[in-house]
Amino acid sequence: MDDKLFNIKYVSEQTGLSAHVIRIWERRYSAISPERSNSNRRLYSQEDIEKLRLLKSATSCGQSIGQIADLSIEKLKEISSNNTMEDEIFAPQNNPVLDKELSEKYISDCLIAIEEFDSYRLEKNLRRASVDLGSFKMLTNLISPLMDVVGEKWRIGEMNPSNEHFASEIVKNYLKNIVLSSNVVPTAPVLIVTTPKGQIHDVGAAIVATAAVTEGWKVIYLGANLDYNEITSTVEKNNADALALSIVHPDDDIYLSDELINLRKNLGDDFLIIIGGRSSNGYQKAIDEIKAFHIHDLFTFRDILKNHRNK
C-alpha cells in the first residue's frame, strides 16, 4: 500500500483545481479529509487526488459539487465511464428548481455589485458560483444570462456604459484566468477562440473558451478583432483542430461576410468552424455559405466539441 502524502500545491497541479477550490470542497462539502502535518499543513493521499480528479470531471460537465461530494470513488468512476453526465445515474440528484433559485440569487447579487462598481463582490460571486454550480452551469446559469441582462440594460438606457464596461472586464478577466490556468493532457485537441475583424466585444468569446476548457480542450484565446489572415496563421502554427468565433456587435458589418468567406478558403472545406453570439444571425447567409456550425447555446457547442473529439 502506498502511504505517500502530498502537499496542496502538488495536488493542484495533478488535478487542475486551484488550492482555493480544494479547500472549499473540503471545508464546505467534506469531499475529502486530508491528514495534517506537524505544522498543521494539509497532506493528501493518492486516493484524495483520484477523487478530486473525478469530482472535477463531474462538475465540469455541469454537476453541483454539493450533489456529488459524498459519492464514493467507485460511484464517481461509474459515472465518468458514461459518455454524458445526463445519464440516469445522476437523475435522482439533479434539482433544477434549486439550481434555478441559486442562479437567480447569484445574478441578483452580481447586478448589485455591478451597479456599485464592487469588483471584490462580483468576483467573489463568480468564484462561489463556480464551486456551488459547477463550471459549466456557472457559465450557462449565471454568466451568460447575467451578461445578457447587462447588455439589455445598457441598450435601453437602464445601465450606464461605465457599468457595462466594468462588468465586461471583470467577467472577461475572471474567465481568461480559468482558461490560462487550465491543465490539459498533451494530446488534447486544440481550439482557437477569437472574434473576427470589426468585432471588438469578446466576453462571448471568453465564455466559449471557458466552456471548451471544461471539455478538456486546449484553448488558445486570442481576444478580439483579428482579420482572417491572422486567424489562419494562428490555426496553422498551432495545428489547431477547430476555430470558434464570437459575433456580438454590430450585426450589419458590410465587410464581415467576406472575412468569414476568406477564412473558409484559407482553412479548407473540412476544418471545423463554430460561430455564435448575439449578432451572429445577421450573418446567417455567410455562415451557411462557409458551412460553419451556427450555435445559439453552450449545450450545442459542448455537443459539437464532443462529437468532433470522438471521431
pLDDT at 97: 57
In whole angstroms, what is the distance from residue 258 CA to residue 265 CA?
11
- Asked if 102 and 139 sit in the same domain, the reply is yes
Are 136 and 198 in the same domain? Answer: no
Q: Give a yes or no: residue 2 inside a domain.
A: no
Pair 47, 113 in one domain: no
Q: Does the predicted TM-score (pTM) go above 0.75?
A: no
214 by DSSP, 3-state: which? helix
How many Cβ atoms sit within 10 Å of the Cβ of residue 160? 12
Residue 184, pLDDT score: 77
The residues, ordered by sequence, that sit 6+ positions from 118 with a Cβ below 8 Å of its Cβ are 112
Can you give the residue range of the structural domain that contains 73? Answer: 8-86
CATH number, domain containing residue 109 = 1.10.1240.10
| CATH code of residue 57 | 1.10.1660.10
Q: Which is nearest to 198 in space by CA: 274, 136, 260? A: 260
Q: How far apart are CA 47 and CA 167, in angstroms?
A: 40
Q: Of the candidates 58, 86, 114, which is a domain's last residue? A: 86
| Residue 255 main-chain phi, psi, to 5 deg | -100, -15
Of 198, 236, 220, 178, nearest in space to 60 by CA: 178
Q: Which of 114, 200, 201, 120 lies closest to 159 in space, CA to CA?
A: 114
One digit per residue, pLDDT tens: the chain, 311 residues?
Answer: 356 899 998 888 888 777 878 888 888 888 999 999 888 889 999 999 989 988 887 776 666 777 788 888 888 887 666 534 333 333 334 455 567 788 899 999 999 999 999 999 999 999 888 888 888 889 999 999 999 999 889 989 999 999 999 999 999 999 998 888 877 778 899 999 999 999 999 999 999 999 999 888 999 999 999 999 999 999 999 999 999 999 998 889 999 999 999 999 999 999 999 999 989 999 999 999 999 999 999 999 999 998 888 77
**What pLDDT is recorded for position 88?**
34
